Structure formats: structure tokens, C-alpha cells
Amino acid sequence: MLGLLSGNGVRAIVDVRLRPDRAYMGIWAKAKTEDKGIQKLLNDARIEYHSLPELGNIFLDYPDWKERYQQLLEKAGELLTSRFKGIPEPFCLLCAEKKAVDCHRQLIAEHLAKTLGYEVLHLE
């Protein structure tokens, strides 16, 4: 994965998991200190780590989670995505789902493209 990120010039990871600190995530878990977990892994690769749990999918247990999350972005998207302005580009969104089509990060990416003009490329 680090090769894929570096090969595409990714300078930062934006973690949009609601609970990035879950132990079952192994090395991908956000540790309490930056010398462990995903922070260390990315730091060693010279990639910044930013956790934005406010963008986590709070509707995951609903069958219509995509529609609900889309409504959330339409109503509060500017507030929820305001912290992206200080993150170096290009950045990559990170969540637990393997494929963007199955994940709320696709909705976030589409929102960022539409409202802030970001170009979107899915790395899978």
C-alpha cells in the first residue's frame, strides 16, 4: 500500500473512520502516540496523517446509509470538510472498506470535487 501511495505522490492520508483507534485494525489503528500504529507507518514513509472522525459514517447500520450520508454532506458538508484546507495535496482518503464504491469516502470525494474542485482518482 505504501508503494501505491508514494507512487502516486500522495503527501497525506485523511482518515475518515469514525473510530480509527480500534485495536482490531492492527497496524492501521490510530495509536495514542505518533511512534506507533498508522502514524508511525506513514511518518516513516514521509506521508502526513490526519484523522477527521467527524466525517465517519454514522449511518453505516442503515440499509439506506448512502442516501443518509449524502444528505448530511448536502446540509453540513462545508462545515464537515473545512479542515481539508490545511492538508497538503495530493491527499488520500482512508476508511476500512476496500472498495470506494462500497464506502462513504466515495461520497466525500464526490463532494470535495463538486464543491472545492478537487480531482478524484481512486487508488485500489
How far apart are the C-alpha atoms of 61 and 4, rounded to whole Å? 31
pLDDT at res. 124: 75
pLDDT at res. 38: 85
Burial pattern 28-40, b for ≥16 Cβ within 10 A else e, equals bbbbeeeeebbbe
How far apart are the C-alpha atoms of 51 and 35, rounded to whole Å? 16
Tell me which residue has cell 477527521: 52
Per-residue pLDDT of the chain (124 residues; tens, 9 = 90+): 888 898 999 999 999 998 777 656 666 767 777 777 788 889 999 999 999 999 999 999 999 999 999 999 999 999 999 999 889 999 999 988 888 889 999 999 999 999 999 999 888 7
pLDDT at res. 25: 63
